[in-house]
Chain A
Amino acid sequence: MVEPSRLAGGESLRMLQAAFMRALLDPLPEPDSAQGSLLSTCDIVAREIVARGIAPAKRLSIYRKNTETNFAASLRLSFPATYRLVGKDYFRHCARLYQLQRPSCSGDLHHVGEAFAEYLAQLHAHDRYCYIGDIARLEWLCQQSLLAADRSPLDLAKLAAVDLSDYDSLCFLLHPSVRLFSSKFPCQTIWQANTADDNTSENIDLDLASDRGPEYLLIFRDSLGLLLQGLNACEYSFLGNLQRGETFTTAVQAANTESAAFNPSDSLRRWVAMRVIVDFKLMR
């Protein structure tokens, strides 16, 4: 850990910065009158800022607006389908409320969406937009998948060399881009309809879809980009166990409790070919 030679940048610098940050990220008493009300909430900073023809509060409001705009723009990049579903104005409104509650905690804006899905899910837990949190959660997983590490495919010769007696301790590793998703809503359909380049609209019947039971998705990245594939309950259970580091044997047993029709060797072959499974290790 690199520490500054001095513990903090001197007390007056720290106090100035803290007051400035409050002016950017604390809620205002009257959200619709930023220009006037900022002064009263940011007294210290207002006293520290040179006016030169423009009230310090109005100078500060340029930075407050920048902070809000940068944050919302970054969220929009991570959540394009959510943005399209809720519309520009409501998205901007939610983005600001979320920012005041969960401000960015990194110099890398890619992280700001980390809790956005959870925020939206709570906000709309009991209304007709109750699916919106799940759409945002799916989009966040897609972004994680796109940014994950690269990995070479499974070395089949190495796998063939594993002794039969070691099969019980075999653990398969998934590609770092693999994410698993489940929802009671038809999220893949909603997501696809709202990330398509064309502007055609499609009616999706949530009630009809919910009769079909939960949706399970495999999200991963191949050389051409992001892929979303539907899974059945067995496959979802199987991959989930592999991802949690369980042995192949345990994962197969768990999948079989979902359905006796689960075929482990077919599944293994398919996911190795698709580079969803990329390595293995032996648990000793």
Chain B
Amino acid sequence: MPNLLVDAVPLPLPANANANANAGIGLRAQHHSELLERSPAVPWVEAHSENYFADGGAHIEALFKIRSRYSLSLHGVGLSVGSSDALDAQHLKLLRRNIDRFQPMLVSEHLSWSSVGGRFANDLLPLPYTDEALQHVANRIANIQDALGRQILVENVSSYLEYTASQMPEWTFLAGVATEAGCGILLDLNNIYVAARNHGFKPLDYLNAIPASTVQEFHLAGYSAINIDGQEILIDTHGAPVCTAVWNLYAGALQRFGTRPTLIEWDTDIPELDVLIAEAHKADQLRHQYGRA
């Protein structure tokens, strides 16, 4: 086995996918070998950053091979961007190592928090949308970008509650953080739809409040629904096909923002690779119909 980590030989990398390329798919370990055997025509894949924090082994070797054929985005779920704890230096170091070794076109995290006092929920917990939190999160993202030596994107999350302390809608908070921190936005259209249904706002109000220049990626995914006290709550499971309403919202986003790298995300009950590719093709059709460069 070549010593992939120690011999930092420059990789023969494919050109990065541009905004007008077709939709990419979320990379999951069970698809590694099929992706390498078949080399299906998807322009890029998105990997969860923490799934490749290991020093070596089969998954790391597979990602090197996949990266030699596809453009890559690294999507973090564990940095706890909105936490009031100090930034985790070790986590940042491992993320930086992945950026150096896999040279992704995009690096993203979530506009949420998951830890405090050293305890981690390992979930995407909502932030209160206050001036204080906005300033804190923007400062923290600026520090993260300094540590990583590059810009990151932050993604809006699904949520199942709102805080009484919030002083502004989520979209104002998100746009404010991007402006203050100088980061980009990964707009998850499923998360907007889920939050809109759970909290009673219009998804298009959200889209209209986000400056087009900040949006650098779209996510599309599926949700599930539960019933509490006779009221339906949508849960962001990433375990189902994209629903019609979210496809419509994607069409609206293409019209408002133009085309951006778009990803099909699927994290639970992961289907066959071809199901993901078929969803990506649906996104491509909408891009042809509604997108502009």
Does B78 contact A106, Cβ atoms closer than 8 Å? Answer: yes
0 or 1 for each of A42-83: is its CB under 8 Å from B? (1 = yes): 000001111011111011101100110011001000000000
Contact pick for B113, options A3, A12, A17, CB 8 Å: A17
Stretch at the interface among A20-28, A189-197, A228-236, A262-270: A20-28
Known: A104-B119, A108-B50. A50 touches B136 (CB 8 A): no
**B side interface size, CB within 8 A:** 72
Known: A106-B91, A108-B50. A49 touches B163 (CB 8 A): yes
CB distance from B268 to the nearest CB of A (A): 9
A8 to B6, CA, bound (A): 37
Q: Is B209 an interface residue (CB 8 A)?
A: no
Closest to B199 in A: A52
Contact pick for A221, options B57, B77, B117, B125, CB 8 Å: B57
Does B119 contact A105, Cβ atoms closer than 8 Å? Answer: yes
Contact pick for A151, options B3, B53, B121, CB 8 Å: B3
Closest to A19 in B: B116
CB distance from B239 to the nearest CB of A (A): 12
Does A50 contact B5, Cβ atoms closer than 8 Å? Answer: no
Does B5 contact A150, Cβ atoms closer than 8 Å? Answer: yes
Does B132 contact A110, Cβ atoms closer than 8 Å? Answer: no
Known: A49-B162, A49-B163, A105-B119. A9 touches B57 (CB 8 A): no
Does B1 contact A223, Cβ atoms closer than 8 Å? Answer: yes
Known: A2-B146, A58-B229. A48 touches B164 (CB 8 A): yes
Closest to A23 in B: B121
Does B119 contact A25, Cβ atoms closer than 8 Å? Answer: yes
Count: A-B pairs, CB below 8 Å: 195
Q: Is A87 an interface residue (CB 8 A)?
A: no
Residues of A contacting B135 with CB < 8 Å? 6, 10
Residues of B contacting A239 with CB < 8 Å? none
A107 to B49, CA, bound (A): 11
Known: A109-B122, A225-B58. A63 touches B160 (CB 8 A): yes
CB distance from B5 to the nearest CB of A (A): 6
Binding site for B on A (CB under 8 A): 1-6, 8-10, 12-14, 16-18, 20-21, 24-25, 47-50, 52-56, 58-60, 62-63, 66-67, 70-71, 74, 103-110, 112, 146-152, 176-177, 221, 223, 225
Q: Besides A58-B228, A146-B54, 4 other CB < 8 A contacts?
A: A6-B139, A25-B119, A62-B235, A105-B119
Subset of 19 A-B contacts with CB under 8 Å: A1-B86, A2-B143, A4-B86, A5-B143, A6-B136, A9-B82, A10-B136, A25-B121, A48-B128, A59-B228, A62-B233, A104-B120, A105-B118, A106-B88, A107-B50, A107-B122, A108-B91, A112-B122, A151-B3
